[in-house]
Amino acid sequence: MKTYFRCGVKSLCIGLSFVIAFPPLHAQTVPTELNIVVVEGEGATNNVRQRTARAPVVRVEDQNHKPVAGVAVVFTLPTEGATGVFANGAKSLTVLTDSQGSAVAQGLRLNQVAGKVPIHVNASYRGLTARASITQSSVLPPGAKASSGGGHGALIAVLVVLGAAAAGGGAYFATHKSSSSPGTGVVNPPPAAPIGITPGTGTIAGGH
């Protein structure tokens, strides 16, 4: 009986030591706050001719700066202007954070419009939310011209020239139009230009 008691105590101690050394895998502390840390993509400059862009990467942490796994992170692009699509062909992409709290927006492809590209990031987990923004830039390569807006500029220039020509013709007609006699409906012709006569020397011969 005494020996059995000792073995039982020893087994119990070994069991407690195992539990302390190897805690359950699901024992992740429930966070009370979410924080989004931008890891990659902020301030990146992308060539619009290449269309591919640097993939945005974020890490979600709790109130103690510990990574939180299983957080739903939504990346959203602008609907117009300098924008693009993600690997799914849409302007929004939802990614779950891994064991390190990281989420990557894979396959970002930009359009050919130069400008700032703000990427909005929203994280949600068990009723908690957090927001952040990543701003990238789309630029034209050296010597390239923007494809949008060129045709409109040329059309406006042509219209301006035609308008100026029409205005000039109207002014010319207004200044050169002859006045008509009241009540007759007959347009008087413009006065004839004066003819200058220069006297010269002549010889008169008498008759024979």
The range of the structural domain enclosing residue 120 comes to 25-139
Find the angle CA(139)-CA(142)-CA(144) to the nearest 5 degrees.
80
pTM of the model: 0.58
CATH code assigned at 34: 2.60.40.10
| Residue 127 is assigned to a structural domain of this protein | yes
Query: Hey, which residues does 128 pair with through a beta bridge?
Result: 125
Per the listing, tokens 């952040």 go with 132
| Residue 13 is assigned to a structural domain of this protein | no
Helix/strand number for the chain, H first, E second: 2, 10
Domain count, the chain: 1
Give the tokens for residue 100: 């390190």
Find the angle CA(84)-CA(86)-CA(88) to the nearest 5 degrees.
130
pLDDT in tens, 34-84: 999 999 999 999 998 887 789 999 999 999 999 999 999 999 999 999 999
Inter-CA distances, 201 with 196, 198, 204, Å: 17, 10, 10
Inter-CA distances, 166 with 152, 160, 169, Å: 21, 10, 5
pLDDT in tens, 145-186: 655 434 444 444 434 444 554 555 554 544 554 444 445 444
Backbone angles phi, psi at 68, to 5 degrees: -115, 125
